[in-house]
Each structure stands twice: as C-alpha cells, then as structure tokens.
C-alpha cells in the first residue's frame, strides 16, 4: 500500500453491499472512488468525504469499455494511484431459460462478467507498476448451488469465480492478490426485488415470502450488507496476505447443508 491514504475503487457502490464496502474502506482511511450507474453514488461520495478521506463519485456503466476506461482515468487524476479494486457491480435475472430473451442474457453477462473484466483490465497496469495490490470480485452462492430461475445469474457468478482463480495465477508474479467472495442472502434492494417477483408468482404477501426465505438460513435471518463488506475488507487487507485464488463463502451455511 502507498504511504499516503490508500485508494480503493468500488463498483456498484450506490447502495447495498457496494455502499457498505465503500463506507467501511473510507472509515478505515481509504480514499474511495465509488462507481455506479445510479447518480445517487455522487451523494454517497459527498457524504463520506464530509466525514473521512476524500471520495469520488463516478456515474459509469461497467459494461461500457470507454466509460470504464474514463472512470479509471478520473480516479488516477483525482487520487494518483489505486491500491484495491472491488468489482461488486451486478444485476440479477430471475426467469426460466425459455423465457429469457437472448439480448437480456447477453446484457447480464456484459454487466456481471464484462464489468469485472473491464475494470481488471484497466486497473491492473496501475497495480503492476506498483507491484502490489488486491482485487476482490463478487461471485455468489448461486455459483455453488442450483436455484430455480437463476440459471443465467448463476452462470455469470460461476464465470467470475473461474476468472478470478485464473487471474490470481496470471498476476501472482506481480505480487497482486485476486480473490472472490460468494455471499448468500443479503438484505439488499436486489434480494428484495427477488422476493417481490416470488411474491407476485405465488400470491403470498412480501413479508411472508421474506420470512420463508429467512427461515432457510442457519441463523434464520439475512445478512446485513456490512457483514459482507467486512469480509471484502479483510480480503483486501494485509491480514489476507497469503490468500489468492480463493472464493470465500459467506452464506450462513447454505452450501454446508
């Protein structure tokens, strides 16, 4: 890490896990470039800057190569370096295979997998020049277990796991660590959207479906986004200095069942 305030880039940072991650890094002395397609990311960046090290909000479509390249350029112009990259941006698709339009299928891959690839592509030269750094990519429990109507989403997360493992070896000689994290059920707008879809299909009230899904967890609750952010922060820190090419399950026992 640099001797001045280190710099983290967090994608999908406007809300949910990404917002919690950006907040945690900032609370621990990082300058953070918060990237999201939602303009609310600017408000969060301003809020964090008011109480901690400087933050930068960047409205960016992670599936757009020119936008990603510009976001990295703007981060370097503002902060001079990058130490950590957290590829958290993603979308979910809940539908049966035969009901998925191919354009939508490609869009989900372009955002989830393509966005991860593009940010790695443009941040890696900075990390290689420093000969240090950490990348944490967002996979999912959906990469480990079969879920009805989640075939496309699960496939993107499995791809991110495989990409992360290969990249870890590709950049090991540059002293760069690459890991992924697979959360289970986390109380985010994305998961709540899933529950709304299920509620619509079953005719059950939202809260009833939510209670049923919470009961499937070993601790009978969903994770708070900050619980996932803590693991991301650990993976990016020197405390995980001997960890690379690993996928860390934070799934409340889902895969263990």
Residue 252 has pLDDT above 50, yes or no: yes
Q: What is the mean pLDDT of residues 210-214?
A: 85
Residue 198 has pLDDT above 90, yes or no: no
Pairing between β-strand 84-87 and β-strand 7-11 as defined by DSSP bridges:
parallel
Confidence tier at 25 by pLDDT (50, 70, 90): very high
DSSP letter assigned to residue 110:
I
Based on the residue annotation, tell me whether 153 is a catalytic residue of this protein. Answer: yes
Confidence tier at 48 by pLDDT (50, 70, 90): very high
Torsion of CA 200, 206, 212, 218, to 10 degrees: 120
Helix-helix angle 115-130:65-79, to 10 degrees: 30
Residues 6+ apart with CB under 8 A from 224: 20, 186, 187
Q: In the prediction, which pLDDT does 2 show? A: 41
CB atoms inside a 10 Å sphere around CB 95 = 16
Residue bearing tokens 């499937």: 216
Determine whether 40 is exposed, middle or buried from the number of CB atoms within 10 Å of its CB (0-12, 13-18, 19+).
Answer: middle
Confidence tier at 89 by pLDDT (50, 70, 90): very high
Q: What is the mean pLDDT of residues 193-204?
A: 82
Q: In the prediction, which pLDDT does 103 show? A: 98
CB 181 within 8 Å of CB 231: yes
From the candidates 30, 102, 122, 153, give the one annotated as an active-site residue.
153
Residue bearing tokens 């079953």: 202
**CA gap 106, 98 in Å, rounded:** 15
DSSP secondary structure of 49-89: HHHSS-EEEEE--TT-HHHHHHHHHHHHHHHS---EEEE--
Q: In the prediction, which pLDDT does 253 show? A: 94
Query: All domains of the chain, ordered by start, with CATH?
Result: 7-184+224-250 (3.40.50.720)
């Amino acid at each position: 890490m640099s001797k001045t305030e280190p710099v983290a880039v967090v994608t999908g940072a406007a809300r949910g896990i990404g917002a919690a991650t950006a907040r945690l890094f900032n609370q621990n002395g990082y300058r953070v470039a918060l990237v999201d397609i939602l303009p609310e990311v600017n408000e969060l960046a301003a809020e964090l800057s008011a109480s901690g090290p400087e933050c930068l909000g960047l409205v960016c479509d992670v599936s757009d190569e020119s936008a990603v390249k510009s976001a990295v350029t703007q981060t370097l112009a503002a902060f001079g370096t990058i130490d950590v990259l957290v590829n958290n941006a993603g979308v979910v698709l809940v539908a049966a295979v035969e009901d998925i339009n191919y354009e939508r299928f490609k869009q989900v891959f372009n955002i989830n997998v393509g966005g991860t690839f593009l940010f790695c592509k443009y941040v890696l030269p900075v990390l290689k020049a420093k000969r240090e750094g950490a990348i944490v990519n967002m996979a999912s429990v959906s990469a480990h277990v079969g879920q009805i109507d989640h075939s496309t989403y699960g496939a993107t997360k499995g791809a991110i796991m495989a990409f992360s493992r290969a990249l870890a070896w590709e950049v090991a000689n540059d002293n760069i660590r690459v890991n992924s994290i697979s959360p289970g059920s986390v109380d985010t707008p994305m998961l709540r959207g899933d529950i709304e879809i299920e509620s619509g299909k079953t005719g059950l009230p939202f809260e009833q479906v939510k209670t049923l899904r919470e009961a499937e967890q070993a601790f009978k609750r969903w994770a708070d986004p900050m619980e996932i952010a803590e693991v991301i922060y650990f993976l990016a820190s020197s405390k995980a200095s001997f960890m690379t090419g690993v996928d860390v399950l934070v799934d409340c026992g889902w895969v263990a069942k």
